[in-house]
Structure formats: structure tokens, C-alpha cells
A and B are shown apart, each in its own frame.
Chain A
Amino acid sequence: MTEEPLPAWSLPADAVERIALPEAWPGRITREWAWGGATGAGVRVCVLDSGVERDHPHVGKVEQSVAISLDGDQVIVEEEDTAGDLCGHGTACAGVIRSLAPECELASVRVLGAGFTGSGAVLLEGLRWAVEQGYDVINMSLSTTKQKFASLLHELADTAYFRRTMVVASAHNMPVESYPWRFSSVISVGSHELSDPFAYYYNPTPPVEFFARGVDVEVAWVGGGRLVCTGNSFATPHIAGIAALILSNHRELTPFQLKSVLYLTATNVGEGS
């Protein structure tokens, strides 16, 4: 956040200098410029999921583990969640992000485990909490089909976008309406069949915006284990991890710019092609 208020709704002539970009963009965006030498250091990535197993050899350090639940209308935030991962999925996503951005700061916000009833509300409150924490990247390999949460999730996704939090969400591979991946303020991710973790495609016919590695992915699982998995759930942390790399080289990027860099470096666009 900038200290001096910037023009909000209009740009007077004498304010042009004040919105100068902190870093000049090269004429051509390359992968080397985007994340060459990057480790993800200094970037805070949140895995909104089933929890993340602590001390998993393929996940490493988890800085923060929080659990969100509801008691009636009351949102309960357990700041020291010791339940670990109730399924394995969150650990898998965290492991993918770690494999791409080895020095990023990982946080787990657990929104699963309190039962199916109310799970949509818990997902919403979990995202709200994560956005308030100002993480740089939020990985959401889950969605809700409940219409009543759509507008609230939309608002949250936009809030994140304007606060420089990039929400990366799994697209649905079935013809159903679900959220938040359909919103343009998040990055939505589907799967391709290649095995290169750095291969990703921009989709010129959205709503799915990017395709990343999501088939036969070797992932971490609970109990210190490993599995080979397939699903858009695992494509999503690939983009989250690459986003973390880009942000660790270019801290000032807004979600709009970050998406643009992802587009310009995609396998079917520009240098990636």
C-alpha cells in the first residue's frame, strides 16, 4: 500500500508523475525477466483447503495453520490449528507450490472438516479471513455451487484483486455453475496433459483463463506419503507457485500486471511458444 494517496477516480495532469511505475517494463517480457533466479522468497502464499500436514518432507515449513468453522452465525477462527490435513488434498497443493517456489512462505487456512452442511459459508469466511491477512497469493482448489454465496464471493474476489492479493482458483471440468473460479478478478486454472511443470497455456476462450499441469502429478499426501494425482486441483497450485516466483522478482506487481506477465510468458504466447 502506498503512503501518499494516489488519484482514485481521475488523473489530473500534475498527478501523472505520482503514478509512475516503480520499475520500467522491458519491451519484451521474458521468462528470464519474470522469474529468472527467483525462489519465491518473501512471498506469502495461502493454501485455502483441507489443512496442510506439518513437517511433510515435500512441503517443508508451514508458517501458519489456521482453521475456520462456524457455530451458528458465529465465525470461529482457530489460530493454532493442530488438526493437520483431514484429507491430504491441502498437503498435495502445498507440496506443488513448494516444489516451484522453494522459499515462499506457506500458510494453511483450513475450511474443511466441519461437515458438509455449512461448508459453503465456511469457504466464504475462510476466503474473507485470508483476504484480510493480505497474502500475496491464495490457492483455492475448491469451489461452491451455492448461488447464495456467489455475490459475496464475487465481492471478496474483487477486494482481493484491489488489495494486491492474487486468488488462483480451480476451474470446474463439468458443465456446472460454480464459484469463485468464474470471476474475472481471479485466475482460473484447468489442466493440460503435459508433464512440464512450467508449461502453461493462456486460453483465448475463457472463462477458464489458463491451463497448467494437472495430469499424473506426483504430489505430497498425508502420513508423509506421495501419490500420483490428476485434477484441476493440482493444476491450480502450479500457477500459484509460478505467480509466487514472479512476485518474488517483482514485488510491486498488481494482480492485473501479474496476469499480464503470465499471459506474456505462457507456452502458447510470446517467449513461451
Chain B
Amino acid sequence: MSDDLRGAVAAGVLGAEENYRALLSSIVEVARAIFKAKASSIFLLDEATDELVFEAVAGEGSDSLVGRRFPSSTGIAGFVLVSRQPLVIEDVLEDPRFSRETAESTGFVPKGLMAVPLLHEERALGVLEVLDRPSDSRFTLAEMELLGLFANEAAIALDLLQRARRAGAALEGKGELAVLARLAQALEARGAEEDGSREQALRLLEALENVL
């Protein structure tokens, strides 16, 4: 890739990941504040390793949890991801396993949690959790709807974050989309030729674009 092209793409990509991470942090902060909860987290599904990764954390555990991983289909978050169903646990009546599991992953023992899948188009990208809202207020379906609205916002932000990461990986010549960067580079190199090969390649790419 020419320095110019690399520079142009980089201008769009550089800093984007940091911005989207900040957006995710902001979403969990607001979710925590709105629900008056002790903590809130967003988990990203890492499809390559089939794991959930703490991507943003507000409140308890926010210093140490980001980046921590666990299997994608066990526990509450795993269930919510796989089943696509939101789940609210409001009150632990008799010490079930979930509180110990959550304590191990978050560092504190919650009395309850809300977990909602982050769905974008037909993909499940991750899970949003809100831990320990005040137990004196009864849960309502209106809150469930609010949780769904946050989930929608978080899903869009996660999608943007993943796109930024893929673009970044492509710039560095790694990742499955690196081939796009190499193609752009090859087309640039053909720019000086007058044998029509660049035009042919562009038509081929346009046909591919139509197929996709």
C-alpha cells in the first residue's frame, strides 16, 4: 500500500478503536447510573476462541476486569448469548451456584443481575450486564424495555469497535481482511501501466461487490 493510501485509511481508523471503547465505557456508566446499580459490564464475544471478554466495566471491578475471558456458553452471560434471551435475576433466595460463579469473575457477590444479549442484525456480538440494582424497588417490564434500549446502543458500539479493529488489523497486514489492503496496494501499483489490467481488475472487483 502506498504511503498516501495508508495515510488516508489510517486517518479514518486511527483513534477509532479508542473512541468506540470510550463509547462502550460511557454506555456502562450510564446504565449503572440509570439503574442505580453497583456495576455494569459489556462482554464481547471473541468468535476465534469462542470466549466472552470483558470489554467495558463500570463500578465494582472496573480496574481489573477488562480483558478477562471465560467460555462463551456457560454461566448467565453465556446462556443469554446463546439463547438470545434477556434474563433478570432479582433476588438470590438460597445461595445458588450463580452467585459464586459471578463472584469469581467480578470480585464481589451480587444479589441480582440483569443480562441482555447484544444483537446486531442476525449476529450476537456480546452481552450487557447490570449488577445489583436496589432491591427495594420492584422490577417492571418498563425497566426491561429500558435495558433493551441500552443493549441496542451497546450492540451498535460493539459492532463499530469490531470494524475498527478489523480495519486496524488490515492496515497492519494481518487478519482475514488484510487481503483487501493488499488488493488496494496492487491496484495502486497498476496505476502507471497502460495495458488495461487495472481497469479489468476494477471491473472484476465491482462484480465481486455485486455478488456480495
Q: Which residues of A contact B (CB under 8 A)?
A: 50, 86-89, 112-117, 119, 141-147, 170, 172-178, 191-193, 215-216, 218, 221-233
A218 close to B88 (CB less than 8 A): no
Select the residue from A50, A88, A175, A226 with max chain B CB neighbours within 10 A: A88
A261 to B141, CA, bound (A): 27
**Chain A positions within 8 Å of B139 at CB level:** 215-216, 230
Please tell me which one of the listed residues A117, A119, A173, A218 contacts residue B93 in the complex, with CB atoms under 8 A apart: A218
Number of interface residues, chain B, beta carbon within 8 A: 45
A235 to B87, CA, bound (A): 12
Taking the closest CB of chain A, its distance from the CB of B31, in whole angstroms, is: 15
**Surface stretch bound by A, among B9-17, B78-86, B159-167, B187-195:** B78-86
Q: A173-B86, A174-B151, A223-B96 are in contact. List 20 more A-B contacts (CB 8 A).
A: A50-B79, A87-B78, A87-B79, A116-B45, A116-B78, A143-B85, A145-B119, A147-B122, A173-B148, A191-B141, A216-B138, A223-B95, A225-B96, A225-B98, A227-B90, A227-B92, A227-B96, A229-B88, A231-B88, A233-B87
Question: Which single residue of chain B is at the shortest CB-CB distance from A177?
Answer: B122
**Chain B positions within 8 Å of A112 at CB level:** 73, 78-79, 82-83
Select the residue from B75, B82, B97, B123 with max chain A CB neighbours within 10 A: B82
A226 close to B83 (CB less than 8 A): no
Counting from the closest, the 3 A-B pairs by CB-CB distance are A225-B96, A142-B83, A116-B72
**Chain B positions within 8 Å of A86 at CB level:** 73-74, 78-79
Please tell me which one of the listed residues A115, A174, A175, A233 contacts residue B83 in the complex, with CB atoms under 8 A apart: A233
B74 close to A113 (CB less than 8 A): yes
A117 to B9, CA, bound (A): 32
**Chain B positions within 8 Å of A87 at CB level:** 74-76, 78-79
- Ordered by A's residue number, 9 sampled pairs between the chains whose C-beta atoms are within 8 Å are A87-B75, A88-B98, A89-B79, A145-B121, A173-B145, A174-B151, A223-B97, A228-B93, A228-B112
A116 close to B82 (CB less than 8 A): yes
**Chain A positions within 8 Å of B116 at CB level:** 174
Taking the closest CB of chain A, its distance from the CB of B86, in whole angstroms, is: 6
A223 to B88, CA, bound (A): 19
Please tell me which one of the listed residues A145, A177, A229 contacts residue B87 in the complex, with CB atoms under 8 A apart: A229
B84 close to A178 (CB less than 8 A): yes
**Chain A positions within 8 Å of B76 at CB level:** 87-88
Question: Which single residue of chain A is at the shortest CB-CB distance from B84?
Answer: A143
A175 to B116, CA, bound (A): 13
A117 close to B50 (CB less than 8 A): yes
**Chain B positions within 8 Å of A232 at CB level:** 85-86
**Chain A positions within 8 Å of B72 at CB level:** 115-117
**Chain A positions within 8 Å of B96 at CB level:** 88, 221-227
A227 close to B119 (CB less than 8 A): no
A231 close to B93 (CB less than 8 A): no
B89 contacts the other chain (CB 8 A): yes
Taking the closest CB of chain A, its distance from the CB of B10, in whole angstroms, is: 32
**Chain A positions within 8 Å of B105 at CB level:** none
Question: Which single residue of chain A is at the shortest CB-CB distance from B95?
Answer: A225
**Chain A positions within 8 Å of B107 at CB level:** none
Question: Which single residue of chain A is at the shortest CB-CB distance from B88?
Answer: A230
Question: Which single residue of chain B is at the shortest CB-CB distance from A117?
Answer: B50
A173 close to B83 (CB less than 8 A): no
Taking the closest CB of chain A, its distance from the CB of B80, in whole angstroms, is: 9
Question: Which single residue of chain A is at the shortest CB-CB distance from B99?
Answer: A225
B200 contacts the other chain (CB 8 A): no
Q: Which of B101-137 contact A (CB under 8 A)?
A: 112, 116, 119, 121-124
Please tell me which one of the listed residues A89, A113, A145, A222 contacts residue B122 in the complex, with CB atoms under 8 A apart: A145
Select the residue from B71, B79, B83 with max chain A CB neighbours within 10 A: B83
